[in-house]
Structure 1
Amino acid sequence: MTWPFALPFGGLLLSIALGPLLFAKFWHHHYGKIAAAWALVTLAALTWNAGLSTALAAFVHALLAEYLSFIVLLFALYTVAGGILVSGDIKGTPATNTAILALGTVIASIVGTTGAAMILVRPLIRANLSRPHNVHVLIFFIILAANVGGALSPLGDPPLFVGFLRGVDFFWTTQHIWLQTAIVAGLLLVVFAGIDGWRFRAEPASKGPGTKEPVRVRGLINVGLIAAIVANTLVSATWKPGIAFDVVGTHVELQNLVRDAILVVIAGFSLWLTPDEHRAANGFNWEPIREVAKLFAAIFIAIVPVIAMLNAGHDGSFGWLLNAVTTPSGAPREVAYFWFTGLMSAFLDNAPTYLLFFELAGGDPKVLMSELSGTLAAISMGAVYMGALTYIGNAPNFMVAAIANERGIRMPSFFGYMLWAGVVLIPLFVLLTLLPIHPLLSPH
């Protein structure tokens, strides 16, 4: 397939970027229809190019093999985390905000970036809702809790889970990129504390009395349910009954169906066991997850031609990419792997992007964990860290922005967020590339 087949995907991204900016009211009421239209254009192009049966097979694979598990996990975490109510007078001071962001960064590799974001975003919003300058708090929260913090385990971010399924040891990233993650996260927290302190000092109205009502965490049953989600995800990765069902050429494995069914049941238990007033106090509603579900369904379909071009290797439209990440002798260029994996993860789904570069590097987990450990670390860091560069780089980015907008915080536009994130992150990534620490110091 050639580059024109990627135009519907580009049109969808531009719609997501410009729709809320240029025609906000129309977009809000019809974003699902607009996204569906781009998906239909993609399917029509696939049908014209390869026939109806191939287009149907691609559609079924995108929805059943990729989108279904993605949205079910997101739905379960959104539902369960929405039942955790942190009450009391939490004041959005620089110290409090920095502590919440640090907590989100730490727990992201345990409960996942989506879990960390959904648990902490509402208390963070309530703490800062009265402040006239609060957008930067949510931007740094997306960068840290919804992305960078998930770099240390397969539970943290979907790309690393893909690597785990391909044979990468569970604690490999913990052992090999903890220092880089600590440097990036630490510098981000320092930068945030400086910006938030400067903003806070310009807001005399925010300097009210101290805490009046003690902080309480309610709906603790949902903490146990989040642990059940994590355990369910781990078990599904290790339980291999060897049973699969063929649906129009897509092999749907039994363990994945069982995992997704259990996630729906866990979400149901959360709705049943959590008092309604907890969700009401959180300002919980279904619109953010509905928006994510509709837009990402279209993204997973429209991205099919792009992934096909990437998978074509030297024979595809992205054949130049192979030359960019390898030397003439065939050795990997680790810095190139870091930047290409990262920048593509910012606009494509970061899990298949990780898998693409994993395969480009040879696809042998034993070799990648030993002789090519620098390459695997570069791929892992690029996929996780640079998912923070756009709203669509990682699913919780978009969800946090949607929740914040629902609660009255005017989040930046698609391009506005890109500018914010780029200004904050690109210098750190350049620094990470230049620092004389393994793995990105390489003669390649």
Structure 2
Amino acid sequence: MALKTGLTRAAAIVTLCLTSSAAFAAGDIGGGSMGGLWALPFAGMLLSIALGPILFPHFWELNYGKFAAFWAALVLVPLVLFRGFEPALGALAHTALLEYIPFIILLFALFTIAGGILIMGNLHGTPATNTALLAIGTLMASFVGTTGASIIMIRPVLRANDNRRHNVHVVVFFIFLVSNIGGSLTPLGDPPLFLGFLRGVNFFWTTTHLLPETALAVAILLALFFALDSWFYRKEDGMPALKDPTPDRDIKLYGKVNFLLLGGVIAAILMSASWKPGVAVTIAGVHVELQNIVRDGILLALAALSLMLTPNPVRAGNEFSWGPIKEVAKLFAGIFICIIPVLAMLQAGRDGAFSGLVSLVTNPDGSHNTVAYFWLTGALSSFLDNAPTYLVFFELAGGDPQKLMTTGALTLAAISAGAVFMGANTYIGNAPNFMVYAIAKDRKVRMPSFFGYMLWSGAILIPIFLLQTVIFFR
């Protein structure tokens, strides 16, 4: 009898939850009436990504997909119960069709195409050569992505310096420049910027508005690197020469067809930004515009061409595998689902659960506090993934791309720079960081620990960011 009564009460609660959701339209989950508990799965998801690979790396490697599914379920099940099936489905479809799927398709295309470009041979790692390699990788990052540039350039850089006693600083500056700051000039460069593009930010907006900030950071870092590398290089004079495991030989480039395919990626994205046929396909109440469908189809076709046209030994030379992109796909599926209620609450502004955060980034006269946007976006991007962090502050700033690109241009620049630049502050701030760390460590480079790396970034990057604050964001 007690069991029957309990089941009756449970059914009544579920019915009440579903009935109360009738006030919400499809896709509208009522962010203004949500409490802070709705953000816990998002926080749990990001903390899992940040700490899992460090605290229990082997277990994480085998079960990261289950972590993502667990946190996503903690969002989806309550959404259905407390907001109703149709609003939950609408919100999920909107996120999947307009953000997650295009985002993953671009990363997949860049990952596949960049993985087909192989640089063989070896250079002697003099300060001038190393500085030139870092400059090339930094420039590449905005066109093949920070992940792509890191994949292409890290092994040539390591080979050039594998007979140097002091080479840790080379990898640290590589992470600063190639794996992070270099990706700030186009939506192809870093995932946060592509999310902004999907939200309506023009393709070349970041090129024009982040160029001064990027140029200053890159110039300072390259000059500082050259001075530091020259000091280490002179310090090795007179010491017995180490055996070079990869003697100097001519540089050869393989997989050149992939550069053409990268041009196709850029052309496809520019096409989707300029061609507006006014035709859309409606799926689960979400309007997917034709130009975006065509763009994603072209990107998949270019990735397929790369697989067909690139010889297998070229990919083998890059130690190419599908593991990293599978991990990104699963983890970002969890992130994009968990962020649904967070974005809904942010859209509610001062009427939502994050009213305190709104006040923190707002001046007394109601204008945006750009310094706060830069440092808060950057601080979170240092320890959490910078793509969802960008989305949070983009939405906090109003979420209107047209306003943010014009009257709010300084705010959007602060958010973009904070997300991209400060991802370099830790190994977990941006996906390529830990990948470069793992490759370098495998090549017997004595990489600093998690906190040891933060000493490097704190001493070198934070003063640069303070200078940028004074010059650009005050």
Using the size of structure 1 for normalisation, the TM-score is 0.84
Match of residue 323 from structure 1 = 359
The CA deviation string for residues 356-381 of structure 1, in whole angstroms up to 9 with x for no partner, is 65565566767656665544433332
- Which has the larger displacement, 58-67 or 204-213? 204-213
The CA deviation string for residues 139-165 of structure 1, in whole angstroms up to 9 with x for no partner, is 432332233223334444455456567
Match of residue 258 from structure 1 = 294
- Which has the larger displacement, 183-192 or 394-403? 394-403
- Which has the larger displacement, 400-409 or 273-282? 400-409
8 Å Cα contact 1:288-1:399 kept in structure 2: no
- Which has the larger displacement, 339-348 or 268-277? 339-348
Match of residue 235 from structure 1 = 271
8 Å Cα contact 2:102-2:296 kept in structure 1: yes
Q: How does 1:54-133 map to 2 (within 5 A)?
A: 54-128=87-161
Match of residue 380 from structure 1 = 416
Among 44, 54, 76, the residue aligned to 2:77:
44
8 Å Cα contact 2:123-2:248 kept in structure 1: no
1:255 aligned partner, one-letter code: Q
Match of residue 309 from structure 1 = 345
Distance in structure 2 (CA, Å) of the matches to 1:170 and 1:264:
20
8 Å Cα contact 1:140-1:192 kept in structure 2: yes
Provide closer, same or farther for how the CA distance between residues 63 and 181 of structure 1 changes in structure 2, counting only shifts above 3 A.
same
1:280 aligned partner, one-letter code: A
Provide closer, same or farther for how the CA distance between residues 355 and 291 of structure 1 changes in structure 2, counting only shifts above 3 A.
closer
- Which has the larger displacement, 213-222 or 34-43? 34-43
The CA deviation string for residues 359-405 of structure 1, in whole angstroms up to 9 with x for no partner, is 65566767656665544433332233233345565454465556667
8 Å Cα contact 2:375-2:418 kept in structure 1: yes
8 Å Cα contact 2:115-2:148 kept in structure 1: no
8 Å Cα contact 2:110-2:145 kept in structure 1: no
Secondary structure of 1:214's aligned partner: strand
8 Å Cα contact 1:112-1:157 kept in structure 2: yes
Match of residue 291 from structure 1 = 327
Distance in structure 1 (CA, Å) of the matches to 2:133 and 2:406:
36
Please state if 1:225 is matched with 2:274: no
The CA deviation string for residues 391-424 of structure 1, in whole angstroms up to 9 with x for no partner, is 5654544655566677776877777766654443
Distance in structure 2 (CA, Å) of the matches to 1:42 and 1:176:
36
Match of residue 216 from structure 2 = 183
Provide closer, same or farther for how the CA distance between residues 332 and 144 of structure 1 changes in structure 2, counting only shifts above 3 A.
same
8 Å Cα contact 1:20-1:413 kept in structure 2: no
Provide closer, same or farther for how the CA distance between residues 414 and 4 of structure 1 changes in structure 2, counting only shifts above 3 A.
farther
Secondary structure of 1:245's aligned partner: strand
Secondary structure of 1:28's aligned partner: helix
8 Å Cα contact 2:122-2:156 kept in structure 1: no
Secondary structure of 1:217's aligned partner: strand
8 Å Cα contact 2:114-2:144 kept in structure 1: no
The CA deviation string for residues 4-38 of structure 1, in whole angstroms up to 9 with x for no partner, is 22222222223223323332222222222222222
- Structure 1 residue runs of 5 or longer lacking an equivalent are none
Provide closer, same or farther for how the CA distance between residues 322 and 10 of structure 1 changes in structure 2, counting only shifts above 3 A.
closer
Among 369, 372, 391, the residue aligned to 1:336:
372
Distance in structure 1 (CA, Å) of the matches to 2:462 and 2:449:
19
Provide closer, same or farther for how the CA distance between residues 136 and 51 of structure 1 changes in structure 2, counting only shifts above 3 A.
farther
The CA deviation string for residues 333-368 of structure 1, in whole angstroms up to 9 with x for no partner, is 232232234334456665665566556556676765
Distance in structure 2 (CA, Å) of the matches to 1:81 and 1:291:
17
Distance in structure 2 (CA, Å) of the matches to 1:178 and 1:189:
16
Structure with larger Rg: 2
Distance in structure 2 (CA, Å) of the matches to 1:296 and 1:167:
20
Please state if 1:144 is matched with 2:158: no
The CA deviation string for residues 283-332 of structure 1, in whole angstroms up to 9 with x for no partner, is 22222222222222222222222222222211112212332333222233
Provide closer, same or farther for how the CA distance between residues 315 and 103 of structure 1 changes in structure 2, counting only shifts above 3 A.
same
Secondary structure of 2:184's aligned partner: helix
Provide closer, same or farther for how the CA distance between residues 403 and 183 of structure 1 changes in structure 2, counting only shifts above 3 A.
same
The CA deviation string for residues 213-247 of structure 1, in whole angstroms up to 9 with x for no partner, is 21111111111111111111111111222222222
Provide closer, same or farther for how the CA distance between residues 231 and 306 of structure 1 changes in structure 2, counting only shifts above 3 A.
same
Please state if 1:246 is matched with 2:311: no
Distance in structure 2 (CA, Å) of the matches to 1:126 and 1:188:
22
Provide closer, same or farther for how the CA distance between residues 184 and 288 of structure 1 changes in structure 2, counting only shifts above 3 A.
same
The CA deviation string for residues 261-294 of structure 1, in whole angstroms up to 9 with x for no partner, is 2111111111111111111122222222222222
- Which has the larger displacement, 416-425 or 406-415? 406-415
Among 9, 15, 40, the residue aligned to 2:48:
15
Distance in structure 2 (CA, Å) of the matches to 1:116 and 1:283:
15
Please state if 1:30 is matched with 2:60: no
8 Å Cα contact 1:303-1:348 kept in structure 2: no
RMSD, aligned α-carbons: 3.5
2:153 aligned partner, one-letter code: L
Provide closer, same or farther for how the CA distance between residues 123 and 209 of structure 1 changes in structure 2, counting only shifts above 3 A.
closer
Q: How does 1:372-411 map to 2 (within 5 A)?
A: 373-390=409-426, 393-397=429-433, 400=436
Distance in structure 2 (CA, Å) of the matches to 1:207 and 1:401:
23
Provide closer, same or farther for how the CA distance between residues 83 and 299 of structure 1 changes in structure 2, counting only shifts above 3 A.
same
8 Å Cα contact 2:343-2:395 kept in structure 1: no
